[in-house]
Amino acid sequence: MKTPSIVMTLLLVLMNGLIVAQTDALTILPNGNIGVGTTTPTQMLEVNGNIQGSSAFLGNANWGSDHASFNHKVFGNQQTHYALLHRNDGETFLNASLGKSIRFRINNVDKIIVHSNGNFGIGMTTPKIIVDVKENSIIGSSGQSVSQHDVSNRGTKVSFGHQGSEFVGMRTIISPGTNACGNSADIGFDTWECNTSTSREVMRINGTGNVGIGTKTPTQAKLVVSGNAKYKLGKFQWFAYYQKGTGVASGSDQIPYSIYATDRIAAQQFNAFSDARIKTIFGVSNAAKDLETLSKIKITNYRMIDTITKGNQIHKKVIAQQVKEVYPQAVTTDVIEVIPNIYELSTIKDGWIHTSTKDLVVGDNLKLIFSEEEVLVKVLEIKDDAIKVASDQEGSVFVYGKQVSDFHTVDYEAIAMLNVSATQALLKRIELLEKEKVTLSRKQKQLEDHLNTSVSRIEKLEILFNNLK
């Protein structure tokens, strides 16, 4: 038989130190290292080239000798279909084919998935957003010191958001407790704007649940707002504070706002700052004149034009423009707001909207409401029954109205105090009338007594006269 002789021959050659196959395709060294395509294998098996098994491909996938890649053999030596790519500088890449996902599994169950659209799911096999985490998950730090109330444990624990010198996002913070109880677990929110500010904390929720805007120590109430805004630029609403009559923001003539609400505010009680130590008092109001002023303020019945968001109930209140005529100190005209002076459903194409042009001029900002968003756009051109705006959207649009810079507001507290002063004037008049009534009553009594005396005398004279007859 030939087989035993071949085996014996192979063993003898191995014992002599080296076997070299035809054209050095296979090399087996005395130390047991086997080389394929190399005569100097340094490992138990060393291949100079790519390797393909029953299902797998291992090689450089056309990335060159500086890269090692692994993928399924059906993709072969293709540069874009590798599953794992490792570069000689240590950089590592995971990859999936176009339209496919990368899945991380335990016990053959998906735990983390990256979809082809870039959505990343943790515990979610169909993530619908960039990062989609299974419900009841906690993202943050699981590390916790033995005593959370030690002073040494204070500081930022976890940050979420854009990192760096201009941090924007949310932080969990261990800070001094508000009740001298040690530490407090707070949540801080940082922002920055344009080139006018650096990263700074703008809002905090402290350990007791109090919310502070502009303050890190909201101890006075559940919501504490510290500071005011000279102007506020938002996506849909704008307002600012202007020097009266000029339209230019300037110094002490500005009226500072701390809270601006588009809808009603409900509360059990309102307490205004009124301590004498913060005021320079220079006189008492003239109650008689206040009564005269109050009598000129008209109480009006009205319904809001924007019935969709404001409702259609009838109100009985004052109108700012009328109040300004008789009591201007109770009215401000320094707020920028959008008024529903058009309030029509229309369509837009190529920037043109067929709608009312009432009170509009070129350059006005106009509020448009689409199905997905509200925007303020500039009026570029006006025709008899159409306007052109700076928008490339098309389709249905609700034309709300234009933005004005002299929106009127009423200080109802000022009117209430005017009413108090006027009521005091009425009280003085009532008191005077009461005194006059007492005096008149006394005089009436005196007259009645005098009359009764006179009548009695007449009656006596009448009796005497009758007896003389």
Q: Does the pLDDT value for residue 192 go beyond 90?
A: no
* 328: confidence class by pLDDT, cuts 50, 70, 90: very high
Residues 197 and 223 in one domain: yes
Our count of domains for the chain comes to 2
pLDDT tens-digit readout, 438-460: 999 999 999 999 999 999 889 88
Flag whether 208 is in a domain: yes
The answer on pLDDT for 246 being more than 60 is no
Average pLDDT over residues 131-157: 79
> Is the predicted pLDDT of residue 140 greater than 70, yes or no?
yes
- Give the pLDDT of residue 167: 84
Candidates 178, 278, 249, 183; CA nearest to 220 is 178
pLDDT of residue 148: 73
Q: Report the pLDDT value the prediction gives residue 1, as an integer from 0 to 100.
A: 42
- Which range marks the domain in which residue 116 is found? 102-133
pLDDT at res. 23: 54
Q: How confident is the model over 330-347, as a mean pLDDT? A: 91
Query: Is residue 463 included in any domain, yes or no?
Result: no
**76, part of any domain:** no
pLDDT score of 290 more than 80: yes
> Residue 33: CB partners within 8 Å, gap ≥ 6?
41, 42, 43, 44, 45, 46
Task: Kindly state the average pLDDT of the residues 85-111.
Answer: 93
Examine the domain organization and report whether 221 and 156 are in the same domain. yes
Residue 7 has pLDDT above 70, yes or no: no
For 131-145, what is the mean pLDDT? 79
**Are 171 and 209 within one domain?**
yes
pLDDT at residue 122, as a whole number: 93
Q: Is the domain of 155 the same as that of 129?
A: no
For residue 198, pLDDT over 90 is answered with no
CB neighbours of 167 closer than 8 A, spacing ≥ 6? 159, 161, 190, 199
Residues 157 and 197 in one domain: yes
Residue 328 domain-assigned (yes or no) = no
Judge whether 50 lies within some domain: no
Highest mean pLDDT: which range of 5-9, 16-20, 26-30, 291-295: 291-295
pLDDT at residue 21, rounded to an integer: 44
Identify the H or E element spanning 263.
none
Read off the pLDDT of residues 348-386 as tens digits, 9 standing for 90 and up.
999 999 999 989 999 999 999 988 778 889 999 999 899
What pLDDT was estimated at residue 260?
Answer: 81
pLDDT at residue 49 in the model = 85
Q: Are 214 and 226 in contact (CB under 8 A)?
A: yes
Co-location of 155 and 220 in the same domain: yes
**pLDDT band at residue 265 using 50, 70 and 90 as cut-offs:** confident
For residue 110, tell me if it sits in a domain: yes
* Single residue among 227, 250, 276 that ends a domain in this structure: 227
At 5 the pLDDT is: 53
Mean pLDDT score, 230-251: 36
Domain boundary among 195, 227, 259: 227
Q: Which two tokens stand for residue 193?
A: 């704007």
Q: Which of 227, 259, 277 is the last residue of a domain?
A: 227
Residue that is written with structure tokens 């005209």 in the block: 333
Q: Which of 116-125, 167-176, 236-245 has the highest mean pLDDT?
A: 116-125
- 119, 157: one domain: no
In this structure, is residue 119 part of a structural domain? Answer: yes
- CB pairs under 8 A, 24+ apart, for 223-229? 225/258, 225/259, 226/258, 227/258, 228/256, 228/257, 228/258, 229/256, 229/257, 229/258, 229/260
Phi then psi for residue 199, to 5 deg, are -60, 130
Q: What is the pLDDT of residue 77?
A: 83
> Which of the four pLDDT bands, split at 50, 70 and 90, describes residue 255?
low
DSSP assignment string, 330-345: GEEEEEEEE--SS-EE
Whether 219 and 168 map to the same domain: the answer is: yes
* Whole-model pTM over 0.75: no
| pLDDT at site 113 | 95
- Are residues 160 and 213 both part of a single domain? yes
Residues 396-453: tens digit of each pLDDT: 999 999 999 899 999 999 999 999 999 999 999 999 999 999 999 999 999 999 999 9
CA 202 to chain centroid: 12
Interval 111-135: pLDDT, tens: 999 999 999 999 988 999 999 988 8
Is 109 domain-assigned? yes
Tell the residue number behind the tokens 């890190």, with chain if given. Answer: 216
Give dist(CA 429, CA 457) in Å, integer.
Answer: 41
Q: Are residues 222 and 156 in the same domain?
A: yes
With 70 as the cut, is the pLDDT of residue 336 above it?
A: yes
Res 109 pLDDT > 70: yes
Those residues whose C-beta lies under 8 Å from the C-beta of residue 264, and which sit 6 or more positions away, are none
Give the per-residue pLDDT at 425.
95
Task: Give the span between the Cα atoms of 421 and 425, in whole angstroms.
Answer: 6
Highest-confidence range of 72-81, 138-147, 173-182, 419-428, by mean pLDDT? 419-428
